[in-house]
Amino acid sequence: MITREQLIQKYREFFESHGHKWVAGASLVPENDPTVLFTTAGMHPLVPYLMGENHAEGKRIANAQKCIRTDDIDEVGDATHQTFFEMLGNWSFGDYFKSEAIQWSYEFLTDPKWLGLDVAKLAVTVFAGDQDAPFDTEAYDLWIKTGIKPQRIAKLPKSDNWWGPAGQVGPCGPDTEMFYWTGSDKAPAEFDPKDTRWVEIWNNVFMQYNKTEDGKFVPLKQTNVDTGMGLVRTLAVINGQADNYQTELFWLIIQKIEQISGKKYADHLIEFRIVADHITAAIFAIADDVLPSNKGAGYITRRLIRRAISKMHALGVKGACVYQIGLEVVHLYQQDYSKLADKSILETLEQEEKKFLATLVLGLKQLDSCKNPDGKFAFNLFQTYGFPVEMTMEQMRLQKIGFDKGQLLREFGQEMTAHQDLSRTASAGMFKGGLADASEITTKYHTATHLLQAALRQVLGTEVYQRGSNITAERMRFDFSYPDKMTDDQIAQVEQLVNGWIKDSLVVQMEEMSPAEAKQSGALGIFDDKYGSKVKVYSVGKTSREICGGPHVSNTKELGLFKITKEEASSAGVRRIKATLI
Ligand code: SER
C-alpha cells in the first residue's frame, strides 16, 4: 500500500533528482486566464512560462496542482472520473524535451525504486498526425526504445492526443498518454484504448506550437514539456483498488455517506460517487472564494452542492448532511491545504444546503406531476425552487420524462433573458425566506428601489442617479451618484419619505411609449442606445416615474416597512445603500 503523501513524496524526490524545483500549486481560480472558470489543468497558471517568460525557480519545476474539470461532470459516477482532482506534474520551460520526458516517465512508473509498476500492464498512445502536425515518430521511437511493444502503442488523432487551449489561441502540441491495465485477468497483448479497464494515469504534453488567431500552428520559440499524473487514479492503480473511491482520498467519505444514509456503497455506486466528488470539489471551490451563486464559476459551485444534495435525497436522506460529509473532506486535506481549516467554508456549504432543502421537495413534486416538460417549466423550477437546469434534466431522465435537450435549453435561455431582472437577482440569498415565492419578494424590492431613488433625489438633490442595483430575497442594494457620506438625519428623512409613500397606498402603473416620449414625460432613464423602439414607463403615484422592464407590485401598500441598514462608499463619487423590507 502506498499513501497519497508517499506518492507525492516519491514524485517530488524523483524529479528533484533530475534537477526540478518543487513549487506550490496555484489557486483553482486562474489569475491570468479568462478563458476558463477554473484551473482545469496544471498549465493554466503556467501559461506565461510556456510562452517564454522566465520562471523564478528556473526551467524545470514540479508540483501538485488541484483542478476542477466540469467537462467530465456527466462521467462522474464511473470508477475513474472526478470533477475535482490533483495532478502531479513535471515541467520543462524550453529545457528538456521528448527524450528525457518519456525516459523519466517510464523509469518512474516501472523502476522498483520508484513505483515499480508491472511493465506487462503498461500501454501508451501517441499522436497519429494530421494536416496541422505530423505523426509523432519521435515519441513512438522513444517508447519502443524503453521496451514497450508496438502492439501496446496506439496512434490516435487530435481529439485524443493533443493538448492545448481548446479552440483558442496559445501553446499546444501532441501528447503521449500512459495507461495501466486494471482488469482482473491478464492484460491483453494488444492495447485497445476503448477498453475502460485500461486506465489513463499520466500524460506528457509536448508543447511545440502556438495556435494563432487565424487557426495556424506556428512552432513555438521554445519547446516545453507539461505532464499531468492523476493522483487518485495512480493511487488506485498502484494499490490494486477497484476504483478511485476505494482509495484513502474517498473511502472515509464513502463510509460517512453509508453511515448517514444507512445504505451500502456497493448498492448505490453512482450516487455515492457523485456525492463524494461533488462535496470535495465544492469545498475546494469555496476555499478559493468561489461561493455558490447564479453566475459563472459560482454557479458551478452551486450546481455541485445541489446535485450532491439531490443524490443524498435519492438515497433517502431528507435532512441536513453536507456538514458531516464535508468535515471528512476537510480532515483529509487540511494538512496540505491549510485554507480548508477556515470554519466559514463548511458554514457556506450548510447555508446553501438549508436554502436548497427548503425547496427541494416542492420542486421534486412539481417534476413528478410535470405534464409539459419544456424550457418554461425548467425555468420555473430554477427560479422558484432553485433547481439548476442541468439537475432538472437529470431528474427528468431518471423519471423517464421525455424531452428534447436542445429545445429545452433554448427555451430556458429565452425565459432567462425575458426575466433577466429577476434572474440577476436570484442570488445566494434567494431562498432564505423559506418557502416564500422568490419572485414575489424580489418584485417588492424592485418597486422599493424606485421609491428609494425618488426619495434620495428629494433629500439630496436631483444630481442623484441610479448607478447600479442588486436584489436578493433578504435585501436590496442601490448604488447612486453622490459625492458625500449621508448624515444620519438624511438617512432618516429618506426612510420617512419611502415609508410615507408605502402608507399612502400609491398605485403603480405601467405605460408603453417610445424612448423620446418617455424622456419628454419626465421619466428617469439612461437615454442611450440601450433602448429599443418602445419602452415601459412605471410610475408610482406622482412620486416616481422611471423607464424599467419591471415587474412591480400594483400598490405600494404591499411593501411593508422600509429600513436602510447600511450607507457606505461604493467607488469614487458613488454611494451604496443597503435596505430591507420587513
Ligand atoms: N495538461 C495535461 C493534462 O491535463 C498534462 O498536464 O492532462
Q: Ligand 1 centroid to 162 CA: how many Å?
A: 10
pLDDT band at 340 (very low <50, low <70, confident <90, very high): very high
Three state DSSP letters for 204-243: EEEEEEEECCCCCEEEEEEEEEEEEEEHHHHHHHHCCCCC
Q: What is the pLDDT of residue 427?
A: 33
pLDDT at 425 > cutoff 50? no
CA–CA separation, 580 and 562 (whole Å): 6
Is the separation of the CB atoms in 254 and 311 below 8 Å? Answer: no
* Cell numbers placing 217: 500552428
Ligand 1, atom 3, residue with closest C-alpha: 228
What the block records as the C-alpha cell of 74 is 456527466
Name the residue with the closest Cα to ligand 1, atom 2: 228
Q: What is the tens place of the pLDDT at every residue in 76-109? A: 889 889 999 999 999 999 999 999 999 999 999 9
| Interval between CA 77 and ligand 1 midpoint (Å) | 22
Please tell me the distance between residue 155's alpha carbon and the centre of ligand 1 in angstroms: 18
**433 — pLDDT class (breaks 50, 70, 90):** very low
So what's the pLDDT on residue 531?
Answer: 67
Higher per-residue confidence, 506 vs 470: 506
Which of 11, 33, 43, 176, when mutated, tests ligand 1's pocket best, judged by the most ligand atoms within 8 Å of its CB? Answer: 43
For residues 21 and 443, which has the higher predicted lDDT (pLDDT)?
Answer: 21
- CA 570 to the chain's CA centroid: 27
Q: What is the mean pLDDT of residues 205-232?
A: 92
> What is the per-residue pLDDT for 554?
92
Which single residue is written with the C-alpha cell 435537450? 405
Q: Are 239 and 199 in contact (CB under 8 A)?
A: no
Q: How far is the CA of 526 from the centre of ligand 1 (A)?
A: 48
**388 CA to centre of ligand 1 in angstroms:** 29
Q: Which atom of ligand 1 is nearest to the CA of 43?
A: 1
pLDDT tens digits for range 369-382:
887 778 999 998 99
For residues 468 and 95, the model is more confident at 95
Closest residue CA from atom 4 of ligand 1: 41
Mutate to test the pocket of ligand 1, among 36, 71, 203 (most ligand atoms within 8 A of CB): 203
Query: What's the pLDDT score for residue 185?
Result: 94
Cα 286 from Cα 282, distance rounded (Å)? 6
36, 44 Cβ separation under 8 angstroms: yes
Atom 6 of ligand 1, nearest CA residue: 228
* Amino acid present at 230: G
Cβ–Cβ < 8 Å for 477, 582: no
Torsions phi, psi for 152 (to 5 deg): -105, 10
Model confidence at 206: pLDDT above 60 = yes
Question: Where do runs of H (alpha helix) occur along 488-573?
Answer: 488-503, 515-520
Identify the residues whose C-beta falls under 6 Å from ligand 1. 41-43, 89, 163, 203, 205, 226-228
Confidence at residue 169, expressed as pLDDT on a 0 to 100 scale:
75
User: Is the backbone peptide bond immediately before 551 cis, with ω within 30 degrees of 0?
Assistant: yes
Q: Which of 36-45, 423-432, 555-564 has the lowest mean pLDDT?
A: 423-432
CA of 274 to the centre of ligand 1 (A): 23
State the closest ligand 1 atom to the C-alpha of 42, by its place in the atom list counted from 1: 6
Residue 519 confidence (pLDDT) above 60: yes
Q: Average pLDDT for residues 43-67, to the nearest whole number? A: 90
Q: For atom 1 of ligand 1, which residue has the closest CA?
A: 41
pLDDT value for 70: 85
Question: What's residue 474's pLDDT?
Answer: 77
Pairwise CA distance, residues 460 & 466, whole Å: 13
Tell how strand 466-471 and strand 162-163 pair up: unpaired
Cell matching residue 89: 506534474
Contact (CB, 8 A) for 61 and 20: yes
Instruction: Identify the pLDDT of residue 439.
Output: 62
164, burial (CB in 10 Å: exposed 0-12, middle 13-18, buried 19+)? buried
Q: What is the pLDDT of residue 428?
A: 30
Distance CA 334, CA 185 (A): 38
Closest CA to 71 of 50, 85, 61: 85
Return the SS3 of 354.
helix
pLDDT band at 204 (very low <50, low <70, confident <90, very high): very high
Which pLDDT belongs to residue 423? 35
Interior angle at CA 265, CA 260 and CA 267, nearest 5: 115
- Ligand 1 atom closest to the Cα of residue 67 is 4
CA 40 to ligand 1: nearest atom: 4
CB 98 within 8 A of CB 127: no
Residue 88 grid coordinates: 502531479
Distance 254 CA to ligand 1 centre (A): 28
Per residue in 7-21, pLDDT (tens digit) is 999 999 999 999 999
- Cα of 203 from ligand 1 centre, angstroms: 6
Whether pLDDT at 435 is above 50: no
Q: Residue 41 CA: which ligand 1 atom is closest?
A: 4
**Cα–Cα distance between 290 and 283 in angstroms, integer?**
9
Report the separation in Å between the CA atom of 205 and the middle of ligand 1, taken as the mean of its atom positions. Answer: 7
Yes or no: say if 104 and 110 are a contact pair by the CB < 8 Å rule. Answer: no
Please report the atom of ligand 1 found closest to the CA of residue 87.
6
527 or 472, which is more confident? 472
Select, from the ranges 7-11, 422-426, 481-485, 518-522, the one with the highest average predicted confidence (pLDDT). 7-11
> Does a cis peptide bond (omega within 30 degrees of 0) precede residue 174?
no
User: In whole numbers, what is the pLDDT of the chain averaged over residues?
Assistant: 90
Residue 462, SS3 per DSSP: coil
Chain segment 120-166, per-residue pLDDT in tens? 999 999 999 999 899 999 999 999 999 999 999 999 999 999 997 64
Q: Is 432's pLDDT higher than 90?
A: no
Residue 420 has a pLDDT of: 63
Q: How far is the CA of 108 from the centre of ligand 1 (A)?
A: 17
Taken in order 144, 148, 151, 156, the sign of the CA dihedral is negative
Q: pLDDT-based confidence at 540, cuts 50/70/90?
A: very high
pLDDT digits (tens, 9 = 90+) for 37-52: 899 999 888 888 888 8
pLDDT tops 90 at residue 296: no
pLDDT, residue 134, reads 94
pLDDT at 557 over 50: yes
Q: What is the pLDDT of residue 213?
A: 82
Distance 227 CA to ligand 1 centre (A): 6
Query: Residue 214: which pLDDT band, with cuts at 50, 70 and 90?
Result: confident
Cell 424612448 belongs to: 515
For the residues 559-572, what does the mean pLDDT come to?
Answer: 89
